[in-house]
């Protein structure tokens, strides 16, 4: 049973606009959430994280929002750039630092 | 900081061969490392958690005799795919924790394993 889900396998956005990637989870014990960016044939690169005590964390063009009651988190990228085109994975963690990953959303930012 | 190096990046070998993949934390000590497998267009599947100086903890369905993990030092973990067969062909990725709670895992660049 998949505990972290990304229901959109792909997303296409025009350069300069906002990209919104979504992620849902089922385990209420998760208290740490992350987003990773992955290019083909490379390992995931850590992007941004958020603890369950917060509902928003911002780092430059990237903002992660957490809605604990809905068990939902999202990543906003604004403005989107062509170099942002990649696969984005959300991940969640509870005890013991074991991470659960979503299936990824492929973002394409069109010039 | 927090650089993880994985080697080799690509392996092509015959069926029946054993293949060793190395994962090194270059600028930090990693008490815990993780090994993942990724199938095409799918998520990262955790295979095992590797703790320095102790036996690895394998996820359900992962054969420990097939996928040997050794974490002999705070900077090195190895995954050996023993007697590899075509169905073992996949993308294997390691990651390491810098330590402490609520810290991200940092990933290596992965190893593309192709068994002929």
Interface residues of A toward B, Cβ cutoff 8 Å, are: 2, 9, 31-32, 34, 36, 41-46, 49, 51, 89, 93, 97-99, 101-104
Residues 6-25 of B with CB under 8 A from A: 6, 9
From chain A, pick out residues whose CB is under 8 angstroms from the CB of B103.
97
Which of A37, A42, A9, A28 lies closest to A72 in space, CA to CA? A28
Confidence of residue B16 (pLDDT cuts 50, 70, 90): very high
Which of A41, A62, A42, A40 lies closest to A50 in space, CA to CA? A62
**Which whole number is the average pLDDT over A76-85?**
97
| pLDDT higher than 90, residue A70 | yes
DSSP state of A96: B
| A8, β-bridge pairs | none
From chain B, pick out residues whose CB is under 8 angstroms from the CB of A98.
46, 49
Written as six digits, the tokens of B116 are: 């002929």
Q: Is A4 exposed, middle or buried (0-12, 13-18, 19+ CB in 10 A)?
A: buried
Q: Give the chain B residue nearest A37 (alpha carbons).
A: B107
Q: Give the chain A residue nearest B49 (alpha carbons).
A: A98
Report CB contact under 8 Å: A36, B107. Answer: yes
Q: A95-99, B64-68, B69-73: which has the minimum mean pLDDT?
A: A95-99
**Which whole number is the average pLDDT over B42-58?**
88
Q: For residues B1 and B27, what is the distance between their CA atoms, to the nearest angstrom?
A: 6
Q: For residues B48 and B68, what is the distance between their CA atoms, to the nearest angstrom?
A: 10
**Which whole number is the average pLDDT over B30-43?**
87
Indicate the Cα dihedral angle A24, A26, A30, A33, nearest 10°. Answer: -10
| pLDDT higher than 80, residue B39 | yes
| pLDDT higher than 80, residue B111 | yes
Confidence of residue B1 (pLDDT cuts 50, 70, 90): low
Q: Looking at the complex, does the CB of residue B108 fall below 8 Å from at least one CB of chain A? A: yes
The alpha-carbon gap from A79 to the nearest alpha carbon of chain B, in Å, equals 25
Nearest 5 degrees, angle CA A28-CA A68-CA A78? Answer: 130
């Amino acid at each position: 049973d998949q505990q972290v889900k990304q229901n959109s396998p792909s997303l296409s956005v025009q350069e300069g606009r906002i990209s919104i990637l979504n992620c849902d989870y089922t385990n209420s014990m998760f208290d740490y959430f992350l987003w990773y960016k992955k290019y083909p044939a490379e390992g995931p690169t850590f992007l941004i994280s958020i603890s369950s005590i917060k509902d928003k964390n911002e780092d430059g063009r990237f903002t992660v929002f957490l809605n604990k009651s809905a068990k939902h988190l999202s990543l906003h990228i604004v403005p989107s750039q062509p170099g942002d085109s990649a696969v984005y994975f959300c991940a969640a963690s509870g005890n013991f630092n074991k991470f659960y990953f979503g299936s990824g959303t492929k973002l394409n930012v069109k010039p | 900081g927090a650089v993880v190096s994985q080697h080799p990046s690509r392996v092509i070998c015959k069926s029946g061969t054993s293949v060793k993949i190395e994962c090194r934390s270059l600028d930090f000590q990693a008490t815990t490392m993780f090994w993942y497998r990724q199938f095409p267009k799918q998520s990262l599947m955790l295979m095992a958690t590797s703790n320095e100086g102790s036996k690895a903890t394998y996820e359900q369905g992962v054969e420990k005799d097939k996928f040997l993990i050794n974490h002999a030092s705070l900077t090195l973990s190895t995954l050996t795919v023993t007697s590899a067969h075509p169905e073992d062909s996949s993308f294997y990725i390691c990651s390491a924790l810098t330590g402490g709670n609520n810290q991200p895992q940092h990933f290596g660049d992965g190893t593309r394993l192709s068994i002929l």
